[in-house]
């Protein structure tokens, strides 16, 4: 997955480069900046003293020292002053210049904090949107397979807007059916069916007035005996479709196999007038995985990969379920992630990073490879 949201301490992320939300002096400070300097050790500060500071929106690179990364990229983010002082442009530059430096140093992976969203006061929703848009545009423009992480230290520092979170919570409450409830419903339906069978069989069972005494146990036994006989009879007498299959030529049956997931995906890409690269990048899928799917007609993807492509192709709920069936899956109201995805698709919201932000907020697995 080219862009991942993870919950971790950025100083413990193993990748080629981590980004430090620094101040303009580059000499350390509070928050993420202080954490990185403490974890890297005094040699980081010593090298930073040679850099002569850094302007807001620009970026400079140092070694990682005691950190589990090769490099630290330092970028001072803007202080939020209401949004009318070029904050968006400066924050965009932070991400772009950091990515540019990472590419120049042949980094295959890089981890970002949510720059300026802490003590600098940048609204988290807007900061996240700028981060995802800038990163995805850079990866697309540079045709890069760089793996990018947005690292969140704790859930409290990263949450959807209160309204969206509330709307999704209500949608889950209205649609969620847990497995225990499903089991109870199935058991209740079975009891009702059995009761109906007993009622229907009264004309076949002598009444008490005729001298016969039947307990409820005997009646139940009679009903299940008839069901067992019917089942055994069905086994002995194959239904017409199986007779047809037994008589048909195997090669003819194989020719009638339904469209595979890979076939459907490629067909939908053509129908939408999209390029392959446009589709897999919009789905947050890396190029290598897409190549496997394209080259292997019978490739079996994960459910989240299928859903990522459904979102990228902007499929309806019905089309999404059809694509899922090709891979052996289905949307389920006993799965919170499925309900969240259904929430967005039913509202024609197909931005995968907005969906992943919601999934992350509800502790669900993200879409993509």
309 burial via Cβ count (<10 Å: 0-12, 13-18, 19+): buried
* Backbone angle region of 14, left / alpha / beta, with phi > 0 → left and psi within -120 to 50 → alpha: beta
Contact yes or no for 20/72 (Cβ under 8 A): yes
Number of Cβ within a 10 Å radius of residue 228: 10
Among candidate residues 138, 180, 129, the one with its CA nearest the CA of residue 5: 129
Contact yes or no for 152/4 (Cβ under 8 A): no
The full 3-state SS of 140-204, as one line of letters, equals: HHCCCCCEEEEEECCHHHCCCCHHHHHHHHHHHHHHCCCHHHHHHHHHHHHHHHHHHHHHHCHHH
Out of 9, 16, 33, 363, pick the active-site residue.
Answer: 33
Distance CA 135, CA 126 (A): 14
Distance CA 369, CA 366 (A): 9
347 burial via Cβ count (<10 Å: 0-12, 13-18, 19+): exposed
Among candidate residues 35, 4, 231, 257, the one with its CA nearest the CA of residue 136: 4
Is 33 among the residues known to form the active site? yes
Active site residues: 33
């Amino acid at each position: 997955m080219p862009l991942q949201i993870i919950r971790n301490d950025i100083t413990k992320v193993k990748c080629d480069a981590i980004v430090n939300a620094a101040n303009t002096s580059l000499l350390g400070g509070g928050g993420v900046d202080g954490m990185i300097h403490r974890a890297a050790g005094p040699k980081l500060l010593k090298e930073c003293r040679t850099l002569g500071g850094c302007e807001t929106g620009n970026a400079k690179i140092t070694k990682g020292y005691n950190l589990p990364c090769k490099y630290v990229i330092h970028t001072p983010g803007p202080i939020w002053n209401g949004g009318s002082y070029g904050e968006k442009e400066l924050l965009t530059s932070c991400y772009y210049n950091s990515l540019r430096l990472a590419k120049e140093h042949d980094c295959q992976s890089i981890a970002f904090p949510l720059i300026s969203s802490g003590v600098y006061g940048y609204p988290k929703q807007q900061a996240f949107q700028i981060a995802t848009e800038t990163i995805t545009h850079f990866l697309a423009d540079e045709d890069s397979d760089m793996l990018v992480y947005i690292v969140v230290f704790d859930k409290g520092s990263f949450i959807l807007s209160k309204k969206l979170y509330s709307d999704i919570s209500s949608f889950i409450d209205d649609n969620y059916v847990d497995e225990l409830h499903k089991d109870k419903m199935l058991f209740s339906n079975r009891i009702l069916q059995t009761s109906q069978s007993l009622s229907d069989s009264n004309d076949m069972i002598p009444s008490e007035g005729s001298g016969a005494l039947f307990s409820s146990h005997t009646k139940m036994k009679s009903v299940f005996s008839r069901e067992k006989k019917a089942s055994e009879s069905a086994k002995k007498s194959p239904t017409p479709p199986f007779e047809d299959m037994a008589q048909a030529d195997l090669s003819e049956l194989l020719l009638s196999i339904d469209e595979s997931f890979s076939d459907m995906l490629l067909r939908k890409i053509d129908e939408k007038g999209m390029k392959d690269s446009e589709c897999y990048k919009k789905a947050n899928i890396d190029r290598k995985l897409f190549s496997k799917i394209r080259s292997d007609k019978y490739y079996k993807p994960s459910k989240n990969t299928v859903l990522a492509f459904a979102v990228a192709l902007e499929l309806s709920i019905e089309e999404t379920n059809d694509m899922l069936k090709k891979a052996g899956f289905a949307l389920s109201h006993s799965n919170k992630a499925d309900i969240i995805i259904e929430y967005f698709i039913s509202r024609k919201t197909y931005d995968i990073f907005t969906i992943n932000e919601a999934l992350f907020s509800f502790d669900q697995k993200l879409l993509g490879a």
